[in-house]
Amino acid sequence: MWMGEYSVLNLIGLLIQAIFIENFLLVNFLGMCTYLACSNKLKTANGLGIAVVFVLTVSGVLNWFVHAFVTGPGALSWLSFFGLDAAAINLEFLQFLLFISVIAGFTQILEILIEKLSPALYMSLGLYLPLIAVNCAILGACLFAVTRDYPFIPNFIYVLGSALGWWLAIALIAAIREKLATANVVPALKGMGITFIMSGLMSMAFMGFTGIKLASPSPATGPGQPFALMDSTGLGQSPIQGAPTEEKE
C-alpha cells in the first residue's frame, strides 16, 4: 500500500515521466484556463507555478487518503474496527465532491495560514490561491492518480512530478509570451490567437518525448523490470509516433 512493487529506480523514472513525458499542460492540456486568462509575465507564471506545486502535492496526498479510506472500492473495510461491516458499500459517486472539497478546503486554509504567517509571501503568492483551487490540473492530477491506483509513495512522486512539469510548461509559455508581446503579430491574432498557435507548436515539441519509458508506471509489467528502455537505434524505428519511417506503406 505504501510502496507497492516500485523500486527507487521506478520512482525516479516515474518522476521524470510525470515532468516531461506526460507533462500535464502540454500533453494532457489541463490547467490552461487560469493561466491564459490572467497573466503573461514570467514572474506571475513562477508565482502560479510554485503555488500549484505546493497545493497539488499536498492535495494529491490528501486525496490519496480519501480514495484509500472512503471512496475507493472496498475502502470502508476499516470500519470493521468499529464492528461495522461496510466493505461492500461503494461511495465512488462521492469522489468528485470530496476531492474538490479537499482541494478547496486546503487552499482556503493555506491562504489563511500564509496571510497570518508571512504577509510578504502572501503579497506575492496568496493572490493566486483562489484561482488554483479551480485549476483543472489539480483535480485532474488527483483523478488520474486515482485511476492508476498508485501506492502511497509513487502517488506522491506522481503528483509532485505533475506539478513540477506544469510549472515548467507555464514558465516556458510565459517566457515566450513576453517576447511575443513586442513582436509584430497580425492584429486579429494578437494576444490569445498567437498564444494558442505557439502552445500548439510547443506541444508538438513535447510529443517528441513519447515512448520513452523509464519506469513501468504500473506493476503490470512486473516488479523485476526497473528499466524498460525502448531500443530505438534501428533504422526507421523512431519512437515518435507518426514520424516518417524508412518503409513505404
Interface with other proteins (CB under 8 A): 27-34, 36-37, 73, 93-97, 99-101, 104-105, 108, 130, 133-136, 138-140, 143-144, 147-149, 186, 188-189, 192-197, 199-201, 203-204, 207, 210-211, 216-221, 230, 236-237, 239, 241-243, 245, 247-249
| In the complex, minimum distance from the CB of residue 30 to other proteins, in angstroms, rounded to a whole number | 5
31-35: long-range contacts, CB 8 A cutoff, minimum separation 24? 31/135, 31/136, 31/137, 31/138, 31/140, 31/166, 31/170, 32/136, 32/199, 33/135, 33/136, 34/131, 34/132, 34/134, 34/135, 35/170, 35/173
Residue 60 and residue 194: Cα distance in Å, rounded? Answer: 33
Which is closer to other proteins, CB of 182 or CB of 241?
A: 241
120 vs 246 by CB, closer to other proteins: 246
Cβ at position 160, least distance to other proteins in Å:
19
- How far apart are alpha carbons 175 and 173 in whole angstroms? 5
In terms of CB distance, is 81 or 249 closer to other proteins?
249
Nearer to other proteins, 80 or 245 (CB): 245
Taking Cα atoms as reference points, which of 136, 183, 137, 146 lies closest to residue 164?
137
Q: Which of helix, strand or coil describes residue 85?
A: coil
Task: Tell me if residue 27 falls in helix, strand or coil.
Answer: coil
Cα gap 243→235, rounded to integer Å? 12
Please report how close the Cβ of residue 96 comes to other proteins at its closest, in angstroms. 5
- Select 28 or 162, whichever has its Cβ closest to other proteins: 28
In order, the DSSP letters of 208-231 are GGTT--SS-SSGGG-TT-S-----
Beta carbon of residue 5, minimum distance to other proteins (angstroms, whole number): 10
User: What is the closest distance, in whole angstroms, from the C-beta atom of residue 68 to other proteins in the complex?
Assistant: 16
**Least Å distance between CB 42 and other proteins?**
20
Of the pair 147, 184, the CB lying nearest other proteins is at 147
